[in-house]
């Protein structure tokens, strides 16, 4: 099939499976991953162009990270306070550590265990925000706490992606790696100066026309992404930094909304490409490791987060709801794994494991989030062990 025919088949099948997921009240993203699995080489084999799928996937990742960057305005991050960021940092640290230990016990090599541990520590911003919005819980205490943790996770995920890109670019030796870091820091410094001093005037000029603003934003995003690619970093990191550099503009939310249809299309292609890469042949002997890692994500990770929230003086219920909301792995986890594969740090089997974990955790955590109030009493005895003696914090926005 030619590219147009392949794309047509992909869209038709994705739409049909998305409809099925909607009827079954499942996350639509599962339908997209299933589309890739069904049309991929291990089932029907209708998609023959791996290069095309990789290109669509990279575009989707870049646009997603560009929009994530648009929402990471440094000036507004302070509104979430230090507590949620500290909780988020400790959660990523402990989850990565225990994820690494579990992976080593499951006989994964050290470097792959490190990737798995870090990948398990991040949660899905897209999925969590959707459920919080649907439940109208964005402004509740646990909702704001959850968003603060997610923001910190996104920042740490970006750092992890930059580190992998730097290691890849500096593979010829330490001097090459250090040179790459210096070049990256120099470019970021220049972008920061342009952002603060020239971007407001440029933004005001292009904002006179909606079309100009749209095309300028795309040009800036793709231009910086390409520049970072030329420097030896990944284009995805360039897209993220491009988004952050535009986040200070008063039009950032407008830019984000204008890019949403484009983002949605390429994100669909990204998840389809993930399904396309899943190999059930290589996973035939991975049932036990997958089950253990999935149990850790669904129960161990929320427990770690819940304990941390309680230690900081919040109530058992706030701790439970925050932990349950983040009981899945992130899109960043899959991007991180794909980058690791690209630079030769992990095998395709590990990418498949993380993708399957994402598939399972997003699907199963949706039930936990929806029915959190009903299952909360079951976890009270566990949370009570770690309950702080201080009065529970139930209304302290400055601490969130």
Residues 36 and 184 in one domain: no
Q: Which of 297, 326, 298 is nearest to 142 (CA)?
A: 326
pTM attached to this predicted model: 0.73
Residues 135 and 4 in one domain: no
Residues 44 and 86 in one domain: no
Residues 23 and 122 in one domain: no
Residues 16 and 99 in one domain: no
Alpha-carbon separation of residue 330 from 45, 47, 125, 126, 181 (angstroms): 27, 26, 7, 8, 26
Residues 43 and 135 in one domain: no
Torsion angle defined by CA atoms of residues 50, 164, 199 and 77, in that order, rounded to the nearest 10 degrees:
110
Q: Find the CATH number of the domain harbouring 274.
A: 1.20.1530
* Chain mean position to CA 114: 17
Q: Which residues of 10-38 are buried (b: 16+ CB within 10 A; e: fewer)?
A: beebbeebbeebeeeebbbbbbbbbbbbb
Residues 79 and 29 in one domain: no
Domain coverage including residue 11 = 1-48
Residues 370 and 339 in one domain: yes
How many separate domains does the chain show? 2
Angle at CA of residue 187, ends 185 and 192, nearest 5°: 95
The answer to whether 79 and 400 are in contact (CB under 8 A) is: no
d(CA 6, CA 48): 9
Phi, psi (deg, nearest 5) at residue 280: -75, -20
Instruction: Give the DSSP H or E segment for 322.
Output: helix 316-325
| pLDDT tens, residue order, the chain (400 aa) | 677 788 888 899 999 998 998 888 777 778 888 888 888 877 787 776 666 777 777 777 788 778 777 777 766 666 666 788 899 899 999 999 999 999 999 999 999 999 999 999 999 877 787 777 777 777 788 888 888 888 888 778 877 877 776 665 544 555 655 666 677 677 777 777 777 777 777 767 777 777 888 888 888 888 888 888 787 777 777 888 888 888 877 777 778 778 878 877 877 887 787 778 776 666 667 788 888 999 999 999 999 998 898 888 888 888 889 999 999 898 788 888 888 887 788 887 888 888 888 878 887 887 788 788 888 887 777 666 666 544 455 544 445 5
* Chain mean position to CA 314: 26
Residues 240 and 119 in one domain: yes
Residues 88 and 15 in one domain: no
Residues 332 and 253 in one domain: yes
Written as six digits, the tokens of 189 are 């410094």
* Chain mean position to CA 65: 9
Residues 144 and 12 in one domain: no
């Amino acid at each position: 099939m030619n590219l147009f025919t392949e794309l047509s088949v992909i869209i038709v099948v994705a739409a049909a499976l998305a409809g099925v997921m909607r009827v079954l009240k499942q996350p639509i993203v599962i339908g997209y991953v299933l589309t890739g699995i069904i049309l991929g080489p291990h089932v029907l084999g209708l998609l023959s162009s791996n290069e095309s799928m990789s290109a669509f996937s990279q575009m989707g990742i870049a646009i997603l990270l560009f929009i994530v960057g648009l929402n990471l305005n440094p000036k507004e991050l302070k509104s979430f306070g230090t507590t949620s960021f500290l909780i988020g940092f400790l959660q990523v640290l402990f989850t990565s550590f225990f994820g690494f230990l579990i992976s080593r016990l499951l006989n994964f090599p050290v470097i792959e265990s490190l990737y798995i541990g870090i990948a398990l520590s991040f949660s899905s911003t897209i999925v969590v925000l959707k459920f919080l919005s649907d439940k109208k819980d964005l402004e509740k205490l646990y909702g704001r706490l959850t968003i603060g943790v997610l923001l910190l996770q996104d920042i740490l995920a970006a750092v992890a992606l930059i580190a992998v890109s730097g290691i890849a670019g500096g593979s010829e030796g330490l001097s090459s790696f250090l040179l790459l870091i210096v070049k990256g820091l120099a470019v970021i410094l220049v972008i920061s100066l342009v952002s603060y001093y020239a971007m407001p005037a440029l933004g005001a000029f292009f904002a006179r026309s909606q079309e100009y603003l749209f095309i300028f934003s795309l040009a800036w995003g793709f231009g910086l992404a390409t520049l970072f690619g030329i420097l030896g970093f990944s284009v995805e990191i360039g897209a993220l930094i491009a988004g952050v550099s535009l986040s200070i503009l008063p039009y950032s939310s407008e830019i984000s909304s204008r890019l949403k249809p484009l983002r949605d299309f390429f994100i669909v292609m990204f998840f389809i490409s993930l399904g396309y890469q899943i190999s059930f042949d290589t996973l035939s002997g991975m049932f036990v490791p997958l089950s253990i890692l999935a149990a850790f994500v669904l129960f161990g990770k929320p427990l770690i987060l819940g304990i941390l929230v309680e230690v900081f003086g919040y109530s058992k219920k706030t701790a439970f709801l925050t932990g349950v909301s983040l009981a899945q792995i992130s899109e960043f986890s899959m991007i991180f794994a794909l980058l690791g594969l690209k630079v030769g740090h992990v095998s395709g089997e590990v990418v498949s494991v993380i993708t399957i974990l994402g598939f399972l955790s997003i699907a199963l955590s949706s039930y936990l989030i929806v029915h959190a109030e009903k299952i909360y009493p079951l976890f009270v005895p566990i949370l009570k062990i770690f309950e702080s003696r201080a009065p529970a914090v139930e209304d302290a926005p400055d601490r969130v």
